Structure 1
Amino acid sequence: IFRPDYLERHRFILAPDEAFGAIFTWSSLLQNARDLEMDAWNIVATENNLLKVDLDDIVRAEQMNPELAVQRVFLWTSDWIEVKRLVFRKLEVYNEFFDEYKFELRPNVKQWLTVLRKYKTSMCICSNVQRNRMKMILERLEIAEYFPFIVSIEEEFDTEEQMFLSACVKLERPPQKCVIFTDTPTSIISAHEISAKAIALSGVFKAYELRVADATMSNFDDIVVYDIRKLFSESGYEFMDTQTQLDDGSGNSSRSSQTMIES
């Protein structure tokens, strides 16, 4: 599926960056993406005399539907009616604070997204947040224009692998031609499970905890477009089909002269 035809293969040789898909997790773009989520869950915990959650719980809960998180991560209850009540209450609390909450982008996010768009790399953002909420935040942060494709909680995915595969389908790119930007070891493993590449941002986890990623960085000013191209330099669309790069006439593979993130 999504295998390029003859004309597309020729176009991708001339413009290799167009062949790739860039998938961003919610927390890879926002510095404080998990704070509001954790506050909302802890208010629900206090109201119901339940054990409060910590950042590790929130990170694990991101990989599944909230109903499963209540049962498998927070270990609050297995009664389905009670689970639904707690999830609904959390959503109420989240919505109450949402409009006043100030989300913050990681440094140089806009510059990096601008560069990817310049080279026509398709982009998608994934989250377990509601679609209308995601759009509102993206518009507030002035980056909505970069994400024509969104994977939200309405997709009803059970695992992170399903979420990433849904993003690949929306981008119309095979997983082996997609790179996933994330900040957790579990997301890196999920990316590799679907044969995608993973670039990790340190923060919640230290760099050594993210060593299974294909590349690790502290911020988006640590990467250039050519780094993405290098991740796929040894793989093509077919088995044993290497990624072709143009020769610049001097015996070296071509490299765009404008790949650095512009400040």
Structure 2
Amino acid sequence: MENALSSISSSSLLPLAPTSFPSHPPAKLRLSRFKHWSSAENRRNKTLQLRNAFGSGDENGQLDGFPCIPNKFFMDEVIGAEYGEGFETFRPEGPLKVDVDFLNDRMQEGFLQRIRYAMKPDEAYGLIFSWDNVVADSRALKLHAWEQLAAEEGKEIPEDGNVQRHLLHAGADHVLHKVLRWGKAEEDIDRLKSRLSQLYHDNLLELSEPIEGLKDWLDALATSRIPCAVVSSLDRKNMVDALERMGLKKFFQAIVSEEDGMESIAHRFLSAAVKLDRKPSKCVVFEDDPRGITAAHNCTMMAIALIGAHPAYDLGQADLAVASFNELSVINLRRLFAHKGSTFMDLQKQVIEKSPSRRKLTIDTIF
């Protein structure tokens, strides 16, 4: 079968770091971080100073094997892919910008793939699952981490709904400084952030149950041979370990994790599409957050919203909103693509059908 990425590989792109499961070859795009080496180095130096202050001798920028980056889990991330923005990859001729239009153009199905997808249309789709509150109940993990931190510090967390939203979505710096007002000195804030990250990691290690109905839904997708990917800002090891404990690892053909270096939600979705070998316009994203839904639409992907962490009226821009995975069936995916796409509601000229003119039989028309 012709590979949909053959046209990309012909541009002499360097391969990605092997982040897929061993049974699947890595995609042939290398996502560069050349613009952010200096900032990453600065963060690493700060992390080393923080670890040394706490007496940790780990050399990998981690606390007990877990990255000391709590703000990655306690903040609203950049949406990304606005106005065709994408990530960059290197090739011998120089850097190449990889954006949504580029992938939709270069990842067209080959002749044999088109025949296969005509016979089995469900296999043409690629499904991308966000980790937070779609695969795992990260909302409960975050709240529990904050409650544990409050108990250790002898403090209380207000039961105000606005405060709860900040705990889930705002950065740890902002919550500690402006919302809870727990620390004033920078050393205290760093200590609290580090402890919060460690508590979140400890809770993650105990996670063994996925979101209700997810396993049955993934099993139905596997029966229909629809490839799936999961995306997160977690590091790959902790993510894979959690998937194994939940019994979900076998269902995902691709994983996008912190090691892939994606800087926005949309970039993670695009990276997942590349790993699944599906063009973005044929992918469906499962999200629980309005920002994730916006990122999916920026990538020309369909979006199915899971109601829970956000109420239904906040998820109105999704192509489909459900209360649980138990409400879904494969036919729902077909209906998402039943129309021409994002322009099917555009005004069209009405064509007045006319009866065809009668043909005049002549000698030339007789065989």
Return the offset for 1:58. Answer: 5.3
1:56 to 161, 165, 187: 165
Indicate yes or no: 2:257 matched with 1:152.
yes
2:201 to 84, 90, 95: 95
- Is contact 2:253–2:276 with CA below 8 Å preserved after alignment? no
Q: Secondary structure at the match of 2:247?
A: coil
Q: Are 1:210 and 2:315 counterparts?
A: yes
Q: What is the alpha-carbon distance in structure 1 between the residues aligned to residue 187 and residue 108 of structure 2?
A: 45
| 8 Å Cα contact 1:185/1:209 also seen in 2 | yes
1:165 maps to 2:284: no
Counterpart-to-counterpart distance in 2, 1:124 and 1:152: 11
Shift of 1:11: 0.9
Shift of 1:42: 6.0
* Greater CA drift, 121-130 or 82-91: 82-91
- For residues 267 and 191 of structure 2, the distance between their equivalents in structure 1, rounded to whole angstroms, comes to 26
Are positions 1:39 and 2:144 aligned together? yes
Distance 1:215 1:123, change over 3 A: same
Structure 2 gaps, min length 5: 1-105, 179-184, 345-367
Task: Tell me the TM-score normalized by structure 2.
Answer: 0.54
Distance 1:226 1:82 in 2: 53
1:10-49 to 2 correspondences below 5 Å: 10-26=115-131, 27-30=133-136, 32-41=137-146
Correspondence for 2:299: 194
Contact 2:146–2:196 at 8 Å: present in 1 too? Answer: yes
Secondary structure of the 1:29 match is: coil
Pairwise CA distance, 1:115: 1.0
User: 1:115 aligned to 2:214?
Assistant: no
RMSD: 3.1
Q: Distance in 1 between matches of 2:163 and 2:277?
A: 37
Give 1:261's aligned residue.
none
The equivalent of 1:177 in structure 2 is: 282
- 1:2 is aligned, of 78, 97, 107, to 107
Write out per-residue CA displacement over residues 99-148 of structure 1, whole angstroms, 9 at most, x where no aligned residue.
3x344323221111011111111100112222111111111111111013
Distance (whole Å) between structure 2 residues aligned to residue 153 and residue 45 of structure 1 = 28
Q: What is the TM-score of this pair, normalised by structure 1? A: 0.73
- More off after superposition, 225-234 vs 43-52: 43-52
CA radius of gyration, larger in: 2
Question: Is 1:137 aligned to 2:242, yes or no?
Answer: yes
The 8 Å contact of residues 167 and 175 in structure 2, kept in 1 or not, is answered as no
Name stretches of at least 5 consecutive residues in structure 1 with no aligned partner: 62-68, 241-263
Give 1:39 deviation, angstroms. 3.4
Q: How many equivalent residue pairs?
A: 227
CA spacing shift, 1:115–1:85, aligned 2, 3 Å: same
Tell me the distance in 1 between the aligned counterparts of 2:275 and 2:309: 28
* 8 Å contact from structure 1 (residues 24, 182) kept in 2: yes
Matched position secondary structure for 1:205: coil
